[in-house]
Chain A
Amino acid sequence: MPQMNMMQALTSAMDVKLAEDERVLAFGEDVGYFGGVFGVTRGLQEKYGSSRVFDAPINEGAIIAMAMGMATNGMRPIAEIQFADYIFPGFDQIISELTRIRYRSAGQYTAPVTIRTPCGGGIYGGQTHSMSPEAFFTHIPGLVVAMPSNPYDAKGLLISCIESDDPALFFEPKRLYNGPFDGDPNKPQSSWKDHPKGEVPEGNYTVPLGVADVVREGSDVTVVAYGTMVHVALAAAEAEGVDAEIIDLRTLIPYDIDTVARSVQKTGRCVILHEAPRTSGFGAELAAQIQEDCFYSLEAPIQRVTGWDTPYPHAHEWSYFPGQERVARALKKTVEFA
């Protein structure tokens, strides 16, 4: 089985779809000749030509509107927004147009657009290259929201998004592009080489939307995480010696309530992790739904470990990032709560 890092897995997903479906297009800022600022579309223009893989003007609203117009005319565009922090000029086209056209037209028009965008901190990106803005988008009716934590899922989920008839927003935790990251910035950069999830088949396969992955079975506490925080959770549970059941949500909308509820009903305890700010974050939604579905099983308050309600700072990145120590503390507190 080929070994791929997350960037290569994502390139492979687009390569597969561009090859087998002529309706698929890929565009965005620096996406064409240069292959994207993170190199995720590298080689695709050369292979598929500049009418299928191309640069787009620096106007996120234009990029999303163009994708939507194309999608309503039979295409399946993959639009890259260079950083999730840059997506907001396109917010209106996403919230008012792309995600509503099926509803507004009573199914006459559909817009199967996939928006790819790198998110999350840990690369000294400061407040404009580090955001995890997923909660804004999980609040929008009609939008699939996904965030993988490893190369295998990244490729399979991205193909699922491209093949889906619904518009999808695909977040790529950029700190995981080159290797799993357990939250410790002092360790040397790890690699996806030799990681089981770095084994990525060459051809088409899918990871289904709406299905979570139990990445570690356990009985003491359920940890619900996605993206980079999955790796932080694994390391923290290991370090703290907590027998945690760790769930990688993979898809945020629609999220896999069955897997989450089953686990919390088993463990009776739950910690929710995300890198995004806490207030009105996706963790709030998860906590509310979990208490609705698992109230009689809960033996401790649901804890959230998240980024702070501040912009993502540059110098204090690692005080902002919800690292192993904070996660371990929450696990301990939750497990010991009587």
Chain B
Amino acid sequence: MGKAEPRISVPAPAFRPGDTPGFSRLGLPRPGHHARPDILADAAEIRDLAFGLVGVLDEEANAVGDWAPGLSPEELRAGLKTMVLTREYDNRMLKMQRTKRLSFYMKSLGEEAVAVAATQALDAGDMLFPSYRQQGALIQRGAELVDMMCHCISNSRDNLKGRQLPVHYTRKDLNWFSVSGNLGTQFPQAVGWSMASALKGETAIACSWIGDGTTAEGDFHAAMTLASTYNAPVVLNVVNNQWAISMHNSISGGKAPSFAAKAIGYGIPGIRVDGNDYLAVAAVTRWAAERARGGGGPTLIESYTYRGEAHSTSDDPSKYRPKDEYEAWPLGDPVERLRAHLIKLGEWDGEQHEAWQAECKQAVADAWKEALTYGTLEEGPHAPVPTMFEDVFTAQPWHLRRQRQELGV
């Protein structure tokens, strides 16, 4: 033993490129382990949920335990279909980025349930404050692929007039807020939005998502403090996909036992859920939404999942984590697990699945073809150049008018 002295430590992931990945160390509870508390349960009574893992689908694809949400076969099929469509959309957009038709893209492989199941569990009037990896929620809300594509290539039909980089969607008509790009800023905004809803006597709540890395931002603490102080009707999600670009979640998590456990100090429920279990995500989100609507205030949900691909098209994950780590992820694939469950229920089969995949591929290809008819990133047409000077203020002040004239438009 050396003599005791202060020393810092910098966390490192268990596995780096070249290592054999494994997750046996996680020691996660089995599906069905946790009881589902009353929606207005005292946060102090349900702290175990912050350290455990709410799961519904077991290894045999059965829905087990208290949290089974009782979704109808129609709802489950709709969820599965949206996840498959999201995945096909992502695949196509990545390809288009690789051929330089898009400047940038971010896939959601492996995290589809986190967005789709949560959105299905909410009301259409609830406002979503997403980060950049919840495209599944937008599709679940009914966005047309062609509109999403037109935004991503900033063509003449881009509803954001070419002002935002790809995947930073805004859709007020679908109660989807505006994806920022500065991490975590939407978290406290969602709290404010939900407070306004309550002040107006409306039942709509807000739901927001950030990543594990973003919990280090001050805005996480801002949102938690506001939500706790004002008992805001908001569902706050931390998508723990293990990685923040190249940084393992231990860099933001430090010695915290879980991200859900951060809720305890704020006196609000923290629930860790298997993010690759469609039924569990839906169940936990529904619990939190009912609690918020019932006056019980906010909930922090940690969706435990794994980022199946790169952070974005700008990084190569094989440079910082084992290539096969995703395959080793013990909680499986959200699409495969829901598919197996539906098949087990006799509500789906392999043929139907293949047919739907083919249909999605075709729909995505058709949408892409249509999107291009409205212009491309490189060649346009884009929104007319003078629109660049619009929407800065309600009315264009003299200095912007002069600058527009200086540009000659």
Contacts and interface: CB of A to CB of B under 8 A. Distances in A.
A109 B199 contact: no
Interface string A62-96: 10011111111111000000000000010011001
A65 B178 contact: no
Contacts of A142: 392-393
A92 B193 contact: no
A295 B129 CA distance: 50
A189 interface: no
B193 A105 contact: no
B43 interface: no
Contacts of A254: 393, 397-399
A61 B187 CA distance: 11
Interface string B158-175: 011101100010111000
B188 A66 contact: yes
A144 B392 CA distance: 11
Interface in B255-291: none
B119 interface: no
B397 A65 contact: no
A141 interface: yes
Contacts of A72: 177, 189, 193
Contacts of A243: none
Contacts of B172: 105, 108-109
B308 interface: no
Interface in A204-255: 210, 253-254
A101 B178 contact: yes
Contact of B191 (A69, A89, A97, A210): A69
A280 interface: no
Contacts of B187: 65
Interface centre among B160, B191, B397 (most CB of A within 10 A): B397
A97 B399 CA distance: 22
B342 interface: no
A97 B225 contact: no
Contacts of B394: 102, 110, 164-166
Contacts of A258: 398
A75 B185 CA distance: 19
Interface stretch (B78-86, B215-223, B331-339): B215-223
B219 A65 contact: yes
Interface in B218-249: 218-219, 221-223, 225-226, 229
Nearest to B188: A65
A66 B192 contact: yes
Interface in A94-127: 96-97, 101-110
Contact of A70 (B170, B196, B397): B196
B219 to A, nearest CB: 6
B182 A108 contact: no
Contact of B160 (A59, A70, A105, A210): A105
B45 interface: no
Contact of A69 (B168, B170, B189, B392): B189
A51 B391 contact: no
Given A72-B189, A74-B200, A75-B196, A108 B178 contact: yes
A257 interface: yes
B180 interface: yes
B153 interface: no
A57 interface: yes
Contact of A73 (B159, B193, B219): B193
B178 A70 contact: no
A59 B222 contact: yes
B367 interface: no
Contacts of A110: 394
Contact of B197 (A52, A66, A71, A73): A73
B57 to A, nearest CB: 34
Contacts of A25: 199
A210 B397 contact: yes
A108 B163 CA distance: 13
B197 A57 contact: no
Contact of B218 (A61, A105, A141, A165): A61
B196 A69 contact: yes
A106 B159 contact: yes
A59 B170 CA distance: 27
B190 interface: yes
Contacts of B192: 65-71, 73
A107 B170 CA distance: 10
Interface in B20-44: none
B121 interface: no
Given A57-B226, A97-B182, A103-B391, A74 B196 contact: yes
B127 interface: yes
Interface string A29-53: 0000000000000000000000110
B160 A106 contact: yes
Given A66-B191, A70-B196, A166-B393, A104 B182 contact: no
Contacts of B193: 69-70, 72-73
A104 B151 CA distance: 12
A173 B218 CA distance: 29
Contacts of A104: 160, 163-164, 168, 170, 178, 180
A45 to B, nearest CB: 15
B185 A103 contact: no
Interface string B194-216: 11110110000010000000000
Nearest to A97: B185
Contacts of B221: 59
A66 B195 CA distance: 8
Contacts of B177: 72, 109
Contacts of B223: 62, 65
Contacts of A71: 192
Question: Nearest 8 pairs between A and B by C-beta?
Answer: A69-B192, A65-B188, A62-B222, A254-B397, A66-B192, A73-B196, A69-B189, A69-B193
Given A69-B193, A254-B399, 12 more contacts: A59-B218, A62-B226, A65-B187, A65-B188, A66-B191, A69-B194, A70-B192, A72-B177, A73-B200, A89-B218, A97-B180, A106-B159
Interface of A: 25, 51-52, 57, 59, 61-62, 65-75, 89, 92-93, 96-97, 101-110, 141-142, 144, 164-166, 210, 253-254, 257-258
15 contacts: A25-B199, A57-B226, A59-B222, A61-B222, A66-B189, A68-B189, A68-B192, A70-B193, A70-B196, A72-B189, A73-B200, A104-B168, A141-B392, A144-B393, A210-B397
